[in-house]
Structure 1
Amino acid sequence: MTYVKALGVLLVAITLIMLMSYWAAGRARAALDADARDKLLAEGHAYSFLDLPQGTVHYRLEGPETGQLVVLVHGFATPSIIWSQYFKPLTDAGYRVLAFDNFGRGLSDRPDTVYDADLFDNQLSGLLDALGVNRRVDLVGYSMGGGIVTVFAARHPERVRSMTLIAPVGLGKLSNERTEMLRRPLIGDWIIRLFGTKMFYAAAAEEAKSIPNPGPLLAAVNRQLQFRGYGDALLSTMRNYPLETADAFYATVGASSLPVLAIWGEADEVVPFDHAERLMELLPQAQLRSYPGMGHNIGVADPDLVGGLIMRFLGEQEARITSPGAAGKPRGPLARMESRRCASCGGNSGDTAITPPIPQAN
């Protein structure tokens, strides 16, 4: 009986220690409030903030006001700084470019809510409304951002001109033993609260090894980790967002005539390239470009490659609208780009050659 009582006391003590450490770890980080945002702006770490019903959004908007708007949506854990190399080429080409931090990430608020498809769809639609965007936009989504823009295009087709997906989620299994453990109540919350900062930074540092200039990215990742609620937001996303089960949204877009470009690294270990087969089943109109030897971070590892593909695809949309086809009607897309091995191209981004555009007959 003594042993049973001792075991009970020990379990109670362990539970109290876990609860106290959980609470202390959360309070140890700073609140992302108005004072913090003012300081971030003053130090040059932020661009602009805008209040939405669900919370404050950090965003960057540049380029000519009359330019076609391109919206860049980042992925699960890394903030919108991943798009920093895309702004100048796009704005120099005359596009207006918008990137923002998803709720719970970067310098946007971490609202105490369920991080599901509705939250991120409302954030994107609310941001466009608040900025007075009243015409179709070109959406670019990386990883989870690919899921976000697909949901948006399925729900608001009248607001979208084209969609570019870079290794998008929602098409199959991503989970492993670690993520399954994190999804469990209580234990997952405790692990994230106490060890999430080290886990997320380590993952970002590993991914940054193949990036030409990783300093700014890692600094932004570290900055977002300093504010309260980041880990909780990611955990809620893991439990509530359709990271593996967004087929219905892809099918809705696939039943439309929306132009779609898909870009994938064939060595992707986060969102496996095998998922591209399912993507093409659901989005038969998509143009798929894949690159042997490239991983999940293809967009930041080779922004010149990915940015060039995006620019070319956007140019096709301009031509599709302005070039008359039969009976004076606009043409369809001017080319269909397919993955093709190139024996003379060498490693990395050159492994797949770019097939010249093939004009459609009038």
Structure 2
Amino acid sequence: MAILKGAGAITAAFLLIMLVSYWAAGRAKPALDAAIRSALQKQGLAHAFIELPDGVVHYRLEGPADGPLVVFVHGLSTPSFVFDDYVTPLTEAGYRVLTFDNYGRGLSDRPGLVYDADLTDRLIVNLLDTLGLAAPAHFVGYSMGGAASVIFAARHPERVRSLTLIAPAGLGVSPALKESILARPLIGDWIARMFGLRIFHGLAAEEARKAPDPVRFLADFDRQMNYRGYDDAIVSTIRHYPLDGSEAAFADAGRSPRPVLVIWGEADETVPFVHAKKLMSLMPRAKLYSYPRLGHDIGYSQAPMLRELILGFLSGQDNEAGATSMRIGTRPAKAAPEAR
């Protein structure tokens, strides 16, 4: 009996230590506030901020006011800076471009809510409405942002003019992500709070190696982790966001005559290319470009090539509505697409 009591006391003490350390880790970083955001703007590290019902959102809106609107939606962990190389070329081509940080990422608020499809959908609706952007927009979604764009199109078909999906989640992701220890209740929360900086920085450092400017990419990525709540948001998203199982939304969006462009690296290990077959069955009007030796980094490592594809897709949409899928091979970033 004494042994059992001793074991119980040790267990209770261990759990108390974990609880206190979890709380302390959560309070160790500052919360994003108006003063911090103002300082970041003065340093040229932030664009604009807007108060929405679920929290403050960091966004960038550039280009002619009367230009067709293009909305970029980023993925799970890397915020909207991943689209920086797209903004100027599209605005110079006459488009109005909107990028934003999803809740919990970048310089947007980290509300204590469930990070699911409903939260992201509300953000997009509220952001467009508050900015007075009522006209249907072209959506470009990367990774989880692809799933978010499809779900938005399925729920608000009148607000989406076209879809460009870059390595889109929603139909399946790597088991290493969905079955990671971060997805497990309690222990996942504790690990994310205690070791999240090291874990996420390490993953980003691998991604940064293929970025045009690796040092800047990593600095921009790490900045979001200086503030309270990033790790909690990632954990909640892994558990609650439909990174797979979104077939109904893809099918709903796929029944629309709107043009759909899909760009995917066949060597993608995060959102495996094998899911492209299912996507094309659900969105039969989509046009698919795939690249045998490119991976999930395609959105930023091959930005010049993707910009050309997207600009061609947007400018020629009148002739794209009935396009069928095609597969093309890897080629230099500035080469013209060639079907094979």
**TM bucket, shorter chain:** over 0.9
Q: Which residue of 2 aligns with 1:253?
A: 253
**Could you tell me how far apart the structure 1 residues matched to 2:9 and 2:134 are?**
63
* CA deviation profile, 1:3-27 (whole Å, cap 9, x unmatched): 2222122111111110111011111
Is 1:354 matched with 2:335? no
Cα distance change of structure 1 residues 315 and 355 upon mapping to structure 2, 3 Å threshold: farther
Is 1:18 matched with 2:2? no
**Could you tell me how far apart the structure 1 residues matched to 2:121 and 2:63 are?**
24
> TM-score of the superposition, structure 2-length normalised?
0.95
TM-superposed CA distance for 1:352, in Å, is 9.5
Cα distance change of structure 1 residues 177 and 75 upon mapping to structure 2, 3 Å threshold: closer
* CA deviation profile, 1:153-205 (whole Å, cap 9, x unmatched): 00111111100000111112533288443222111110111111111111111
Structure 1 portions without partners, runs of 5+: 321-330, 357-362
Cα distance change of structure 1 residues 274 and 334 upon mapping to structure 2, 3 Å threshold: closer
Q: Which residue of 2 aligns with 1:300?
A: 300
Is 1:232 matched with 2:232? yes
Q: Which residue of 2 aligns with 1:277?
A: 277
Aligned partner of 1:339: which letter? R
Q: Which residue of 2 aligns with 1:156?
A: 156
Residue 90 of structure 1 contacts residue 96 of structure 1 at CA under 8 Å; is this kept in 2?
Answer: yes
| Number of residue pairs matched by the alignment | 340
Task: Report runs of 4+ in structure 1 exceeding 6 Å deviation.
Answer: none
* CA deviation profile, 1:285-321 (whole Å, cap 9, x unmatched): 100000111010101101001111111100112xx1x
Q: Which residue of 2 aligns with 1:93?
A: 93
Is 1:108 matched with 2:96? no
**Could you tell me how far apart the structure 2 residues matched to 1:353 and 1:13 are?**
63
**Could you tell me how far apart the structure 2 residues matched to 1:266 and 1:351 are?**
19
Q: Which residue of 2 aligns with 1:69?
A: 69
Say which one has the larger Rg: 1
> TM-score of the superposition, structure 1-length normalised?
0.90
- Give SS of 2:213's match: coil
CA RMSD in angstroms comes to 1.9
TM-superposed CA distance for 1:332, in Å, is 5.2
Choose from 327, 335, 338 the match for 1:339: 327
Paired-residue identity, %: 52
**Counterparts of 1:191-270 in structure 2 under 5 Å?**
191-270=191-270
Residue 259 of structure 2 contacts residue 320 of structure 2 at CA under 8 Å; is this kept in 1?
Answer: no
- Give SS of 1:176's match: helix
Residue 76 of structure 2 contacts residue 144 of structure 2 at CA under 8 Å; is this kept in 1?
Answer: yes
**Could you tell me how far apart the structure 2 residues matched to 1:116 and 1:135 are?**
26
* CA deviation profile, 1:86-105 (whole Å, cap 9, x unmatched): 01110110111000000100
Structure 2 portions without partners, runs of 5+: none
Cα distance change of structure 1 residues 193 and 67 upon mapping to structure 2, 3 Å threshold: same
Residue 304 of structure 2 contacts residue 333 of structure 2 at CA under 8 Å; is this kept in 1?
Answer: no
* CA deviation profile, 1:37-69 (whole Å, cap 9, x unmatched): 111112111000000000000000111111111
**Counterparts of 1:1-12 in structure 2 under 5 Å?**
1-12=1-12
**Could you tell me how far apart the structure 1 residues matched to 2:302 and 2:102 are?**
23
TM-superposed CA distance for 1:215, in Å, is 2.0
Aligned partner of 2:338: which letter? I
**Counterparts of 1:122-137 in structure 2 under 5 Å?**
122-137=122-137
* CA deviation profile, 1:66-122 (whole Å, cap 9, x unmatched): 111101110000010000000111011011100000010000000111111110001
Greater displacement, 4-13 / 24-33:
4-13
Aligned partner of 1:64: which letter? P
Q: Relative contact order (C-alpha < 8 Å, sep 6+): which is higher?
A: 2
- Give SS of 1:61's match: strand
Is 1:38 matched with 2:38? yes
**Counterparts of 1:172-187 in structure 2 under 5 Å?**
172-176=172-176, 179-187=179-187
Greater displacement, 172-181 / 109-118:
172-181
- Give SS of 1:134's match: coil
**Could you tell me how far apart the structure 2 residues matched to 1:265 and 1:136 are?**
28
**Could you tell me how far apart the structure 1 residues matched to 2:292 and 2:308 are?**
18
